Amino acid sequence: MMLKDLLKKLSIIIPLLLLIIVQYRIWFDDTGVVSSKALTHQIEQLQLENDFHQSENNKLLAEVTELRQGTDLLEERAREELGLIRKGETFILFADPETP
């Protein structure tokens, strides 16, 4: 009689334990639903960063192409960043008065 009760309890406990183990692996394991959602979110963030960097790269590539093909941008850069002027030009700097 005692053995029969033990087998009955084990027949309930063992499937229940197996169900708990399977549920844990489905939801919380490295390949589970929670990890999958986190990876999906991380992929979306990286894609946004890649799109931003690709846009910046395209702008820089266009600027390099323009610098190689023409002198207008090169001259503009020299004037703005280096303060260069052509022969015969007069440089005039308008400064705002300092406020006390």
Tokens of 95: 């400064």
4 domain residue, yes or no: no
Range of the domain at 24: 10-79
18 domain residue, yes or no: yes
3 domain residue, yes or no: no
**What domain count does the chain have?**
1
pLDDT tens figures, 86-96: 788 777 778 88
| Distance separating alpha carbons of residues 43 and 50, to the nearest angstrom | 10
pLDDT tops 90 at residue 29: no
At 13, the pLDDT band (50, 70, 90 cuts) reads: very high
5 domain residue, yes or no: no
pLDDT tens figures, 37-88: 999 999 999 999 999 999 999 999 998 888 788 777 777 777 778 877 778 8
| Distance separating alpha carbons of residues 75 and 53, to the nearest angstrom | 27
99 domain residue, yes or no: no
For the question of whether the overall pTM of this predicted structure is more than 0.75, the answer is: no
The answer to whether residues 91 and 83 touch, using CB atoms and an 8 Å cutoff, is yes
Instruction: Give the pLDDT confidence score for residue 14 in this predicted structure.
Output: 93
30 domain residue, yes or no: yes
92 domain residue, yes or no: no
68 domain residue, yes or no: yes
The answer to whether residues 74 and 67 touch, using CB atoms and an 8 Å cutoff, is yes
